[in-house]
């Protein structure tokens, strides 16, 4: 697989999001998840993205087991800042204080079983803590040798500039796909200007853009997507119609819907690295094929025309979670 740059880090042109291996998308299978991580390495995918909030905590431990004995072959990215109530995991807060960031880093290192985190990211910007203080703490972790590079998640262009002035950012992570194009407003341009890499999470629309989801009822009762506005009510069918458009274009190119959607994200800039999540090898192998898919100017124009910015029906998060996004 080709490589791209996130600051001073060289990573595979596509990463692997590990969140769904532990929760949110139905029952997990640790053995298959670990096999998926190992298969990713065989395919040339070296970037693994996790967070202390996933599980909570259990996803980092799972990734730690998966990379044991292979640590030097992976770029490990994790995040801190979202605080979940151990008695009620659905309740969450945001903490970007220096003390919390530094303690979280030590905890993540222990759970992952590693000596240094390649990319340490602030999961959400804490509105109560100046970003300069949060990034200053992360810079201290770099100086201490606990972290190689730092990044933010779901941050505005203004916040990126303020943070980057304190310590160079390797990346910003935000949702970006054919049906979530908000970063095109200003964040992508700021990344280009400042030399910041961009990690595109949910590049397959939380699985919707794969064409595999046909009915709301097919989602497991504990599947997070049942609470997502884009999967509910009339929005579901309207968004399903959009997927049919992608599927038709994919058929013309003799490829899969997933590969086409991922190739579109990758074609938006060589500083963009999609991190589609999966816990199964068969989906990983399909996704990896996007690296070899070449889209022409006509292909890109047709996709832009069929799925312009704002075309998706429904917000990408529920009302409570949308408030955590700048």
| CA distances (Å), origin 166, targets 37, 97, 169, 187 | 34, 15, 9, 18
**pLDDT of res. 264:** 98
> What CATH class has 3-322?
alpha beta
**pLDDT of res. 326:** 65
Active-site entry in 54, 120, 201, 283: 54
Q: Which residues contact 51 (CB under 8 A, 6 or more apart)?
A: 19, 59, 60, 78, 79, 80, 82, 121, 123
The answer to whether the beta carbons of residues 145 and 120 sit under 8 Å apart is no
Q: How many CB atoms lie within 10 A of CB 193?
A: 12
Residue-by-residue pLDDT tens, the chain, 326 positions: 999 999 999 999 999 999 999 988 778 899 999 999 999 999 999 999 999 999 999 999 999 999 999 999 999 999 999 998 777 766 789 999 999 999 999 999 999 999 999 999 999 999 999 999 999 999 999 999 999 999 999 999 999 999 999 999 999 999 999 999 999 999 999 999 999 999 999 999 988 899 888 888 878 887 778 888 898 889 989 888 889 889 999 999 999 999 999 999 999 999 999 999 999 999 999 999 999 999 999 999 999 999 999 999 888 876 666 567 66
Strands 3-6 and 9-12: antiparallel
CA dist 211 and 136 (Å) reads 43
pTM of the complete model: 0.93
CA dist 19 and 224 (Å) reads 12
Q: Which residues contact 79 (CB under 8 A, 6 or more apart)?
A: 50, 51, 52, 53, 120, 121, 122, 123, 153, 173
Q: How many CB atoms lie within 10 A of CB 76?
A: 24
Region label for 155, one of left (φ > 0), alpha (ψ between -120 and 50) or beta (otherwise): beta
Active site residue 176: no
Instruction: Report the alpha-carbon angle 123-210-248, nearest 5.
Output: 135
**pLDDT of res. 214:** 84
**pLDDT of res. 92:** 86
**pLDDT of res. 109:** 98
Q: Which residues contact 172 (CB under 8 A, 6 or more apart)?
A: 151, 152, 153, 155, 160, 187, 191, 196, 197, 198, 199
Q: Which residues contact 319 (CB under 8 A, 6 or more apart)?
A: none
**pLDDT of res. 319:** 66
Q: Which residues contact 3 (CB under 8 A, 6 or more apart)?
A: 10, 11, 12, 13
């Amino acid at each position: 697989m080709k490589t791209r740059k996130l600051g001073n880090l060289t990573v595979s042109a596509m990463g692997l999001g590990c969140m769904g291996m532990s929760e949110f998308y139905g029952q997990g299978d640790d053995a298959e998840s670990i096999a998926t991580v190992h298969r990713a390495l065989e395919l040339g995918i070296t970037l693994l993205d996790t967070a202390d909030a996933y599980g909570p905590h259990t996803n980092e431990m799972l990734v730690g087991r998966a990379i044991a004995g292979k640590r030097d072959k992976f770029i490990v990215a994790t995040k801190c800042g979202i605080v979940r109530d151990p008695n009620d995991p659905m309740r969450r807060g945001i903490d970007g204080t220096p003390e919390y960031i530094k303690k979280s880093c030590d905890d993540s290192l222990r759970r992952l079983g590693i000596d240094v985190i390649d990319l340490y990211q602030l999961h959400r910007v804490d509105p109560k803590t100046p970003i300069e203080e949060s990034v200053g703490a992360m810079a201290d972790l770099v100086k201490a040798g606990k972290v190689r590079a730092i990044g933010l998640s779901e941050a505005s262009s203004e916040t990126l500039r303020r943070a980057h002035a304190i310590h160079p950012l390797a990346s910003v992570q935000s949702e970006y796909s054919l049906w979530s194009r908000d970063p095109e407003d200003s964040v992508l341009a700021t990344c280009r200007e400042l030399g910041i890499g961009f990690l595109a999470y949910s590049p397959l629309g939380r699985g919707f853009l794969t064409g595999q989801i046909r009915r709301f009822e097919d989602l497991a009762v504990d599947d997070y997507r049942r609470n997502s506005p884009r999967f509910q009510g009339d929005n579901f069918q309207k968004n399903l119609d959009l997927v049919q458009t992608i599927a038709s274009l994919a058929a013309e190119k003799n490829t899969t819907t997933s590969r086409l959607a991922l190739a579109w994200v990758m074609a938006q800039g060589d500083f963009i690295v999609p991190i589609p999540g999966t816990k199964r090898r068969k989906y990983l192998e399909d996704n990896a094929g996007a690296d070899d898919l070449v889209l022409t100017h006509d292909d890109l124009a047709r996709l832009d025309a069929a799925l312009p910015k704002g075309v998706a029906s429904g917000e990408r998060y529920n009302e409570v979670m949308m408030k955590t996004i700048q």
